[in-house]
Amino acid sequence: MLLPFITADQIRDILRFDTLIPALEKAFTLACTVPERAHYQMGDAWDRDAQMLIMPAWRQDHYAGVKLITLYPDNPKQGRPNITGIYCLFDGATGQPLAQMDAGEITRWRTAATSVLAAKYLAPADPTSHLIIGTGALARPFIEAYSQAYPRNELWLWGRSADKTQALVTDLQKHIPQLHATKDLATAARSARLITTLTNSKTPVLQGDWISPGTYLDLVGSYRPDMREVGDDIIRRAEIFVDIRDGAPVESGDLTQPLDSGLIKMSDIKADLSDLVTGRHKGRSDLQDITLFKSAGAASEDLAAAILIYESFTDL
């Protein structure tokens, strides 16, 4: 039997956030083995920024999978995606491969869905304004996911290129009329109660005096110790949460740098998504708290998305 390859277009046809988010929520209640990801810097050989990640996981319902991706942060300058790769799903009972899938598309969908899942536990009850910072490949799925989860919110998009920002807004406004472009990052941040950052910045894109009490910060972009989207002034004020404890605290500069400097300790990280979903931590406890969720991506999230895609694909 020919092993099916599920393309990015097919994944977009199959996935819906109203089924993916519950699938991820369920996944955080299941016993899942997630070995440390293998992270290789390849670019030194070619004088460019290029990395390879290998992310395996297996869980109690007899599914296993591995994601093999490359990260080329400069690719978008040439009109290419910065994340590409293959996901392979296996039958855990027999070890037989079930399907291969486009790993970049899985990554984009599950990353957005994970942030919306975290917002369920950490965002203020009725946030009326949401700022998304960044116009790369993750911007579209994040706008789609959050607009569905919070349909009454005004959505503001800011990017370094005003033309690119406006082009994306114009395209999406056809079915998300509450989406707007902004050129004034500071003013938009001050009025927002949800803020999502999707950048590869090595210096903070948000300033502490822009962040009001009661705000939910959804930090996504930093995936290496030299990348940082918020500074110490924000970390010092925030209640910190992560997707998994052995991910962002050892990979993202938003946490590795303040941990290394002694500004915070591992014990200052209040909970991970498993704690929130299972009720071991209740999430936001005060209306005035600044809650900060830092995701670095987890193989368990990829596996949950791949299972949903495969089961939906075989039902077609």
3-state secondary structure 120-164: HHHCCCCCCEEEEECCCCCHHHHHHHHHHHCCCCEEEEECCCHHH
DSSP-assigned states of every residue in 84-118: EEEEEEEETTT--EEEEEEHHHHHHHHHHHHHHHH
Residues 30 and 174 in one domain: no
Q: How far is CA 75 from the centre of its chain?
A: 19
Residue 212, domain CATH = 3.40.50.720
Please give the model's pTM, rounded to 2 decimal places. Answer: 0.93
> In tens digits, what is the pLDDT along the chain, a chain of 316 residues?
689 999 999 999 999 999 999 999 999 999 999 998 898 989 888 888 899 999 999 999 999 999 999 989 888 888 888 889 999 999 999 999 999 999 999 999 999 999 999 999 999 988 889 999 999 999 999 999 999 999 999 999 999 999 999 999 999 999 999 999 999 999 999 999 999 999 989 999 999 999 999 999 999 999 889 999 999 999 999 999 999 888 788 889 999 999 999 999 999 999 999 999 999 999 998 999 999 999 989 999 999 999 999 999 987 6
**Matching residue, tokens 């915070």:** 264
Residues 253 and 311 in one domain: no
Residues 182 and 282 in one domain: yes
Distance of alpha carbon 306 from alpha carbon 64, whole angstroms: 10
Q: What is the number of residues in the chain?
A: 316
pLDDT of residue 241: 97
pLDDT of residue 139: 96
Residue 305, domain CATH = 3.30.1780.10
Distance of alpha carbon 186 from alpha carbon 207, whole angstroms: 8
pLDDT of residue 288: 94
Distance of alpha carbon 24 from alpha carbon 282, whole angstroms: 18
pLDDT of residue 1: 62
Residues 28 and 167 in one domain: no
Distance of alpha carbon 172 from alpha carbon 235, whole angstroms: 33
pLDDT of residue 316: 65
Q: How far is CA 70 from the centre of its chain?
A: 17
Residues 225 and 291 in one domain: yes
311's CB contacts (< 8 A; 6+ apart) are: none
Distance of alpha carbon 132 from alpha carbon 144, whole angstroms: 12
Residues 137 and 222 in one domain: yes
Residues 279 and 194 in one domain: yes
Residues 199 and 311 in one domain: no
Residues 117 and 129 in one domain: yes
Distance of alpha carbon 38 from alpha carbon 40, whole angstroms: 7
Domain encompassing residue 55: 5-106+300-315
The tally of domains found in the chain comes to 2
Residues 125 and 72 in one domain: no
Q: Is 241 exposed, middle or buried (0-12, 13-18, 19+ CB in 10 A)?
A: buried
Residues 163 and 71 in one domain: no
